[in-house]
Chain A
Amino acid sequence: MSVRTTVNGTPVTLEADPGELLLDVLRGELGLIGAKRSCDVQVCGTCTVLIDGRPVSACTTLVHEARDRSVLTIEGLAETPEFARIHEVFTRHLALQCGYCTPGMALTVSALLASGDLADDEATVREALAGNVCRCTGYRAIIDAVRELAR
């Protein structure tokens, strides 16, 4: 099965079995390892990518669901001007420890900033990041960083 899609701004044709997952093709065929496999059931957020600007879990998204859409991974986000601010604020707040959840956090935050759904209050930020789990439990610094980004 051939699936035409756009990944990080580049049109690509992916060869995939009908049941194949987006995460496997991104990491395997395209070598984009920034999307991480962890829970495999769409609760932890380490495999987050944006499809047409919306955060989705690549571990439970079929390749064909990306057909004729635009997929953005952390490797693509890292090339955008808006990433520079996320990078600077996260780094200054030390809002990462092992870093496994960080690409997913950054992608979710970028989508929230673009949608204007983020506000500088703790409850809003906690709710907004509910789909991204940090197993280092370094939430204090992450929430502080995202609140600063929301200002």
Chain B
Amino acid sequence: MSVAPSPSETGAALGHSVGRKDADEKMRGAARYVGDRTVPGMLHGKVLRSEVAAGRIRGIDASAAEAMP
């Protein structure tokens, strides 16, 4: 396996201002972050918070969630 020398090894980056490789797509809003990605069959999760401010949990009925694909 051959590995190309990095700019720092060749000296090409020394003494120069090196531009940001990722700047263009970030400036244009084209960069894809985690929240911008979709995959086939992707599921969405949601936190279900208690509707009771202070209470004692007697049991959790997860059957509706478990019935989901």
Using a CB–CB cutoff of 8 Å, the interface residues on chain A facing chain B are: 27, 32-37, 73-75, 78, 86-87, 90-91, 94, 96, 98-100, 102-103, 106
Contacts and interface: CB of A to CB of B under 8 A. Distances in A.
Given A91-B20, A94-B20, A96-B20, A78 B27 contact: yes
A75 B29 contact: yes
A87 B29 contact: no
B26 interface: yes
Contact of B27 (A35, A37, A96, A100): A96
Interface of B: 19-20, 22-24, 26-33, 35-36
B32 A99 contact: no
B29 A91 contact: no
A74 B29 contact: yes
A75 B25 CA distance: 11
A36 B51 CA distance: 29
A47 B19 CA distance: 27
A78 B23 CA distance: 13
A98 B24 CA distance: 12
A36 B23 CA distance: 17
Contacts of B20: 91, 94, 96
Report the 10 A-B pairs with minimum CB-CB distance, sorted nearest first. A34-B29, A99-B26, A74-B29, A103-B29, A33-B36, A78-B28, A91-B23, A87-B27, A102-B26, A99-B31
Contacts of B19: 91
A36 B28 CA distance: 12
A106 B19 CA distance: 19
A35 B29 contact: yes
Nearest to A74: B29
Contacts of B27: 78, 86-87, 90-91, 96, 99, 102-103, 106
24 contacts: A33-B30, A33-B32, A34-B28, A34-B29, A34-B30, A35-B29, A36-B33, A36-B35, A74-B28, A75-B29, A78-B27, A78-B29, A86-B27, A90-B23, A96-B23, A96-B26, A99-B22, A99-B26, A99-B27, A100-B33, A102-B26, A102-B29, A103-B28, A103-B29
